Amino acid sequence: MTRATHRILVVEDDPAIRRVLSMLFETNGFKVVAAENCDEGIRQAQTHRPDICILDLGLPDRDGIEFIRQVRDWSPVAILILTARAAEQQRVAAFESGADDYVIKPFSSPELLARVKAIMRRLTRNEQPQSVLRLGTAMVDLGNRVAHGPNGEEVHLTPLEHRILECLARSADSVVTHTQMLKEVWGPHQIDIRSLRVYVASLRRKLEFDPARPRYLTTEPGIGYRLVTE
């Protein structure tokens, strides 16, 4: 069974289908968040940062293609289209906008579940942010959201601080630009770089032995930050 650490956002205007999908994924260990239109779906994606989104294209307020385009501006979330639209040009438009898979209604629940699990396996292989970060004597368990400072003391990291570390861990030992961090951590409601510096400084105070001379959360002047691993 899939561990309940994976979160799915269902964007579907038909309440009966939303219930069926919620039951299907919850029974198989996923956490499910649901939305009935495009605008609510975008808000839920910003708030909950799902691993995968199940999206109907025929939404009451806006076309699902608009959801894909807007979310793709700031999120790498996997998007599986679940729709009655079967025309080739519609499938092509969805993939070109950034969809990862396409299933036509009526759908088979076992096949849909198998496709979602296949996407999750690809994400695990391709992204592979380290689940446990060891920064010298400090440690952060990203999966369980537990952190210990350089002296072994347990420290509290805010949800935003966890998201910053996850963003850096996905590109460990490589430079992550300010723009990329702002998009991945805050989405379309971006803050300025000065505020980002404040959050990084807070992480250094909690995790670096010498925050004034950081060894693991390093700055690339004028570009971004780098998570240095051992």
> Which residues is 181 bridged to in the sheet?
none
Tokens, residue 146: 């537990």
Q: What domain range includes position 195?
A: 132-227
pLDDT in the model for residue 214: 96
* 210-222 pLDDT per residue, tens: 999 999 999 988 8
Domain-embedded: residue 90: yes
Considering the domain architecture, whether residues 43 and 60 belong to the same structural domain is answered as yes
Query: What CATH number should be reported for the domain holding residue 169?
Result: 1.10.10.10
User: What 3-state DSSP class applies to 105?
Assistant: coil
Say whether both 122 and 142 belong to one domain: no
Boundary residue ending a domain (126, 145, 180)? 126
* Residue that terminates a domain, selected from 126, 150, 184: 126
Task: Decide: 204 and 228 in contact? Cβ < 8 Å.
Answer: no
1 within some domain: no
Residue 3 confidence (pLDDT) above 50: no
Q: In this predicted model, which residue has the larger pLDDT, 130 or 54? A: 54
Helices (H) and strands (E) counted in the chain, each on its own, are 8, 12
Let me know if residue 25 belongs to a domain: yes
Q: Is residue 130 classed as helix, strand or coil in its secondary structure?
A: coil
- pLDDT tens for each residue of 173-230: 888 888 888 888 887 666 788 889 999 999 999 999 999 999 999 998 888 899 998 6
Question: Which value, in Å, is the radius of gyration of the alpha carbons in the chain?
Answer: 19
pLDDT of residue 2: 38
Q: Can you tell me the distance from the alpha carbon of 12 to that of 41, in angstroms, rounded to the nearest whole number?
A: 9
Shared-domain flag, residues 98 and 168: no
Confidence (pLDDT) at 230 = 67
Query: Rounded mean pLDDT of 42-58?
Result: 93
Percent of the chain whose pLDDT exceeds 90:
58
| pLDDT per residue as tens digits for the range 131-173 | 789 999 999 998 888 999 999 999 999 888 998 999 998 888 8
Q: Is the pLDDT of residue 126 over 60?
A: no
Task: Residue 55: give its domain's CATH number.
Answer: 3.40.50.2300
